Amino acid sequence: MNRQRLLDRFLQYVRFDTTAHEQSSHYPSTPGQLELGRLLAEQLRSMGLADARQDEHGIVTATIPGNLTGRCPVIAFNSHVDTSPETTGAGVQPQVILNYSGGDLVLPGDPTKVISVKSCPELSTCHGHTLITTDGTTLLGGDDKAGVAIMMELAQHLLEHPEIPHGPVRLLFTCDEEIGRGTQHVDPSQLGAHACYTFDGGGRNQIDHETFSADLAVVTVRGVNIHPSIAKDRMVNAVRIASSLLERLPRELSPERTAGRAGFLHPYTLEGGVAQVVVRILLRDFETSRLADHADVIRQAAGVTEAEFPGCSISVEIRKQYRNMSEGLIREPRAVQYAVEAHQQLGRTAELTIVRGGTDGSQLTEKGLPTPNLSSGQHNIHSPLEWASLDEMLAACEVGVEIVRRWGADCST
């Protein structure tokens, strides 16, 4: 595995502004995703993958041909090119720290931003690593450009080492994963894969085999706007009404007060003014059936609030997002089993983990393509305190090699 090439790719990719935009009606939602996708397709073709292409939706695919005879299972790897809209991804200035020796990391673009060992204990396991941080003014984009770089290095390595036995390997780079649209234009039947793996997890040696199930509630509060000077008994302030509604949501169901397998309601955007406010609320739970219960909590709060403020109206729209991948992984147990065995082959112990979020793998699995999620060296994602470990990214590449080798052993003559 080429360590410097992996680093160079990652530093190149994070400088593309690929921030997803939820309010856009386009796919991808921002032009930077198309730009990065074009580069990836060009680089894949330069490696010799003649079928590498970017489709009309910005999705990039390519195939590494198998080098074994007989009928071999096809596997796929996936990562997404977009970054979270929660922190800007424009003008990313990555900082490379060689041979990290411990201690807190003060970020040069904003010295008030400090990645501390206390708040991020994973740093204590990374002594001697090459770390990449932001400068403190943007996110880094390791979610998921670490995965993008890992896949590109994995592809290059397999092509440079034909002695590694493997069947066909499909590569899939999606857009707009961060806003729940990553697989909107992906047809698993066209990939033709038996299983897929997303490189979109944190740290190292983890295999995410469960995710949240997820819905989105769009709550629209309509009031009556009028000049404040003549507002008595006439104005119905949607901002005040929305605040009252949110106050009625149980705080014990917030992400700030839940962990492990406990689900939550998470209001994350509020937009509008006196006449109308739109609130978006994430509904999350590992048990899919509980999403309906969470939706009822919102509807009940809306009904009580609407009655409290005569003249207003409140609508609640529930939009399905993704489902717990564990519900689909049972259809192809080799997907997780072979990832575990890949770690064992490297002398590592894989940890089967649950992720309090979702990946493209959640939706691909629901579409019939079993897709667990693998570590890719990401830390503090969606934040100006984000950082990544090159050593953990390299370790992920090695796991990818062993996964393709293990599936290759299932070729039949």
Angle, CA of 218, 174 and 182, to the nearest 5°: 20
Place of tokens 């008994």: 233
Instruction: Report d(CA 200, CA 277) in Å as an integer.
Output: 34
What is the amino acid identity at position 109? G
Whether the CA torsion 402, 201, 113, 175 is positive or negative: it is positive
- Are 220 and 165 spatial neighbours (Cβ–Cβ below 8 Å)? no
Could you give the count of Cα atoms lying within 13 Å of 403 in the half-sphere of its Cβ? 33
Could you give the 3-state DSSP secondary structure of residue 404? helix
Our answer to whether residue 104 is catalytic in this structure is: no
Our answer to whether residue 317 is catalytic in this structure is: no
Which one of the listed residues 82, 332, 386, 392 is annotated catalytic? 82
3-state helix, strand, coil in the chain (%, to 5): 35, 25, 40
Instruction: Report d(CA 27, CA 32) in Å as an integer.
Output: 12
- Are 278 and 271 spatial neighbours (Cβ–Cβ below 8 Å)? yes
Which one of the listed residues 143, 144, 177, 200 is annotated catalytic? 177
Nearest Cα to 265, choosing from 278, 253, 248? Answer: 253
Place of tokens 């793996």: 197
- Are 174 and 186 spatial neighbours (Cβ–Cβ below 8 Å)? yes
Which string of b and e fits 309-346 if b means at least 16 CB within 10 Å? beebebebebeebbbbbbebbeebebbbebbbbbbeee
Instruction: Report d(CA 85, CA 268) in Å as an integer.
Output: 11
Catalytic site residues? 82, 177
